[in-house]
Structure 1
Amino acid sequence: MDALYLADGKLFRPTEYSRGPWMADAQHGGPPAALLQRLIENCTEPDHWISRMSVELLAPVPLTPLTFTTELQQLSRRVQFAGAELLSDGRVVARARARILRQSEPIFSESPETDGPFLLPGAEVQREAPAWLIGQDHLTFHQKAVDHRWEDGDFDSPGSAVCWQRLNKQVIAGEEPSGQQRVMALADLASGVSAVLSMASGYGMINSDLDVAFVRPPVGEWLRTDATTRLGPRGTGVCSNTLCDQLGVIAHGTQTLLGRSFA
């Protein structure tokens, strides 16, 4: 099935395409972030815009059926708060908090965007991501559910990088993912794109959260990730990411990172 999840009544069943690179029985952070986005979108009223998503990964999200909860609060005439949780066997493993704004009539005849346009690299620079820790015996999200084209850097060159990425699977089987679902799935890859430690070092940096502030909806499937990771001296760090489509900037993301030894 070419999707990250199968909807089964009030359950979401993850497929192998949602698997992460660190443990064979746990999901990558991107799929649950996209699923939480979809749950909150279902709470969002017409003419409202999810301006910010904050996702917390509270535990490794298992490759087992997930239940969910959602809530919506009206904070003011134009501002709403929404929340969603994913649960495994009754335990909350991931949650999201969203700020939702009621949109006005168009203010600009054209977007005042000044950073674009950006040129999508050709297929000749498209590369499959490495398997990383769990090896080649398993399907993984970052390898098989995402296409990667490098503008600056590559998987073997640690440091800041620019990579175009496309989610090539549906989030929920039978549903076309929204632009913001695609953004949330791909934004979680930024710390891997800009990793400053190679696997040969014996260490990796795992994110426990993901914050994305949206400028506007993306146009097209390919998104440009311009990411930088900075590490502190005691095993923590931050990844900052600017996401663009071919027209210009669409969102800004951050991840806080925690070091892990694989020795």
Structure 2
Amino acid sequence: MAYFRRLDARHFTPTELVGGAWNVTEQHVAPAIGLLAHAIEVDAKARRPDPLQLGRLSYDILGTIPLDTVEIDVTVIRPGRTIELVEARLSHGGRPAILLRAWLAQAYDSSAIAGGGFDPVPGPETMAPWDGTGEWPGGFIASIDARRQPIAPGRAIGWIRTPHALIEDEAVSPLARAMGLVDTANGLAPLVSTADAAFPNLDLTAHIFRAPVGEWLGCDVTVSFGADGIGLTHSILHDRDGAIGTVSQWLTIRPR
């Protein structure tokens, strides 16, 4: 089973695997985040013979999404030969639910100077399986295979993969597939139990400097809460070859 079934060029129906963690009758936004990344890549390939590569993906989560058919529209905000800014909008019943603005850039051969200062993380084989359903209900969390190494409240390293396709009978890029998992980071290293507070994210912004390779997505997660109801989940993203980028999620904290 896949997370979505395509109905036509713009419409997608979620399966039971998309059930949310905060409310099982709503969609978990993780698969929709991957779906929007895929929509931008499909649009780029349809528009130009030399599609640009995604580098920055900034999502605004405007509201909850029922487990029902959604539609996606893609608009080029800033066209260009080597740089583009593209917006993808996911809506339900005419109401926008998630907005993605993505910067795309032309590829250049920078292999001679490639590198970075991010610390490596232990691989998934070094960690115990993590059954997130003990804290998080819903079809999406139950669908993933995860490993986790807790460090402290609000700090953990985790690895996530899924045996399920993002879209039924449709190939997606490794980046779109990874983007369909990254929202899980907010639940990998909770600072407090969900019995004590709700802390959903209102956005998700990823900066990617290398396309991921393989099925595992690693997240080196740090969660911080302020004293006035605002928090941040920040993660360094990895594949087995090393860091690939970062993702930040801005949280609204609501004590129970």
TM-score normalised by structure 2 residue count: 0.90
Deviation of residue 220 (structure 1)? 0.5
What stretches of structure 2 of length at least 5 have no aligned partner?
none
Whether 1:88 and 2:84 are equivalent positions in the alignment is no
SS of residue matched to 1:183: helix
| Residue 240 (structure 1) aligned with residue 238 (structure 2) | no
C-alpha change, 1:123 and 1:227, in structure 2 (3 Å) is: closer
**Residue among 146, 164, 167 paired with 1:148:** 146
Secondary structure of residue in 1 paired with 2:132: coil
Question: Residues 231-250 of structure 1, C-alpha deviation per residue, up to 9 Å, x if partnerless?
Answer: 11011111111001111110
Count how many residue pairs are aligned between Structure 1 and Structure 2.
251
- For the 8 Å contact 1:225–1:243, the answer to whether it is kept is yes
* CA distance in 2: counterparts of 1:207 and 1:195, whole angstroms: 12
Once the two structures are TM-superposed, the CA of residue 30 in structure 1 deviates from its matched residue by: 0.5
Distance 1:11 1:77 in 2: 29
Contact 1:38 1:181 in 2 (8 A): yes
Structure 1 CA distance for aligned equivalents of residues 29 and 254 of structure 2? 16
Contact 1:52/1:98 (CA < 8 Å) preserved in 2? Answer: yes
> Which shifted more, 38-47 or 159-168?
38-47
| 1:160 corresponding residue in structure 2 | 155
Spell out the pairing of 1:60-75 with structure 2 (5 A cutoff).
60-75=64-79
Could you tell me which residue of structure 1 aligns to residue 40 of structure 2? 40
Write the letter of the residue equivalent to 2:150.
G
Residues in 1 aligned to 2:51 and 2:16: alpha-carbon distance in whole angstroms: 35
Q: Report the counterpart of residue 212 of structure 2 in structure 1.
A: 218
Q: How does 1:63-212 map to 2 (within 5 A)?
A: 63-104=67-108, 106-109=109-112, 111-113=114-116, 115=118, 118-122=121-125, 125-132=128-135, 135=137, 139-144=138-143, 146-150=144-148, 152-153=149-150, 158-201=153-196, 203-212=197-206
TM-score with structure 1 length normalisation?
0.88
Contact 1:50 1:101 in 2 (8 A): yes
Runs (4 or more) in structure 1 with deviation over 3 Å come to 73-77, 113-119
Whole-angstrom distance in 2 between the partners of 1:97 and 1:115: 26
1:118-170 residue CA offsets vs partner (Å, 9 max, x unmatched) = 5423287123212546x5xxx521222x11112x218xx63210001113211
What one-letter code is carried by the residue in structure 2 that aligns with 1:179? P
Aligned letter for 1:213? H
| Partner residue in 2 for 1:17 | 17
- Cα shift at 1:36: 0.6
Q: Please list every run of 5 or more consecutive structure 1 residues that lacks an aligned counterpart in the other structure.
A: none
Residue 57 of structure 1 contacts residue 208 of structure 1 at CA under 8 Å; is this kept in 2? yes
CA distance in 1, matches of 2:214, 2:176: 13
Q: Distance in 1 between matches of 2:113 and 2:120?
A: 14
Identity %: 27
Change over 3 Å in CA distance of 1:3–1:110 after alignment to 2? farther
Per the TM alignment, residue 116 of structure 1 is displaced from its structure 2 partner at its CA by 6.6
Q: Distance in 2 between matches of 1:238 and 1:116?
A: 21
Could you tell which deviates more after superposition, 43-52 or 57-66?
A: 43-52
